[in-house]
Amino acid sequence: MSRSIKIAVADDELLFRKGVVFMLEREKDIEIIFEASNGEELVNHLIANENNLPDVILMDLKMPLLNGVEATKKIHKLFPSVKIIALTSYDTKPFILNMIHEGASSYLIKNASPMEMVNTIREVASKGFYYNELIMSIIKDVKNFGTKKTKISFEEDSLTLREKEILELICLQRNTNEIAEALFISNRTVEFHRNNLLLKTESKNVAGLVVYAIQNKIVSIFKMP
């Protein structure tokens, strides 16, 4: 039996936060390990408990002391393996794009259904990201998002054929095991190529690789689930 997905929830609205926690605690594969009422409390807890980090954080954007965007920046720098799902009432393009740019693995509006929330958590924990149709369409429509210029000119041709194959499978939301099986390579080789892709594209995480692939037309959005 696989281990539970460890979750932290950061939201200053006590009633909403407790409702989310209550709902998630009913799922057998999810374990709530911490609640925070603001970003500062969350970051301080992670620093003090480095040996028990969450797999996924549900992050509100508007919180006192340290908001969700700034908290995401700090957590990504300190603990890049921790995946963050923005959970907010803000559904406008600037908020969505900003959080994705800062490394959020997914973006959920607070009126999402419980089933959608649980599914998003599982997808992010398993595959590193999850973008629904709304997010995918926004990424596709906003030109040059996620393609910042670097000091060294980077061209798509710099990617090897194998890296392109792995990037396409990542965009199809395949996890490491599934990619390894599809390409008849080891999990370790998949991780090696994924790390190279992150370095070459200057992406912050797997979600960033998806943004890069869409923006550079390496993968068609119409081929994605």
Helix, strand, or coil (residue 10): strand
Q: Distance between CA atoms of 82 and 120, rounded to whole angstroms?
A: 15
Same domain for 27 and 115 = yes
Asked which of 140, 161, 182 is the last residue of a domain, the reply is 140
Same domain for 191 and 81 = no
Interval 92-111 mean pLDDT: 83
Interval 61-73 mean pLDDT: 89
Least confident of 11-15, 57-61, 158-162, 206-210: 206-210
Same domain for 19 and 127 = yes
Same domain for 198 and 133 = no
Give exposure, 59-80, as e/b (b: 16+ Cβ within 10 Å): bbbebeebbbbbbbebbbeebe
The two structure tokens encoding residue 3: 């281990």
Same domain for 80 and 133 = yes
Interval 139-158 mean pLDDT: 50
- Domain enclosing residue 173, as ranges: 145-220
The answer, yes or no, to whether residue 155 has pLDDT greater than 60, is no
Same domain for 160 and 49 = no
Same domain for 127 and 154 = no
Q: Is 30 contained in some domain?
A: yes
Same domain for 136 and 198 = no
Asked which of 109, 140, 171 is the last residue of a domain, the reply is 140
Same domain for 131 and 57 = yes
pTM score over 0.75:
no
The answer, yes or no, to whether residue 156 has pLDDT greater than 50, is no
The two structure tokens encoding residue 184: 């008849």
- The bridge status of strand 106-109 relative to strand 5-10 is unpaired
Same domain for 169 and 61 = no
The answer, yes or no, to whether residue 57 has pLDDT greater than 90, is yes
Q: Are 210 and 170 in contact (CB under 8 A)?
A: yes
Interval 121-125 mean pLDDT: 92
Instruction: Select, from the ranges 10-24, 92-106, 128-142, 181-195, the one with the highest average predicted confidence (pLDDT).
Output: 10-24
Asked which of 140, 172, 206 is the last residue of a domain, the reply is 140
Helices (H), the chain: 14-24, 39-48, 68-78, 93-101, 114-127, 133-141, 161-171, 176-183, 187-201, 206-215
Q: Distance between CA atoms of 142 and 80, rounded to whole angstroms?
A: 26
Residue 3 DSSP class: P
Local confidence band at 36 (pLDDT 50, 70, 90 cut-offs): very high
Q: Are 214 and 139 in contact (CB under 8 A)?
A: yes
Task: Give the mean pLDDT of the chain.
Answer: 82
The two structure tokens encoding residue 195: 């790390």
The two structure tokens encoding residue 40: 């500062």
Same domain for 172 and 76 = no
Same domain for 135 and 51 = yes
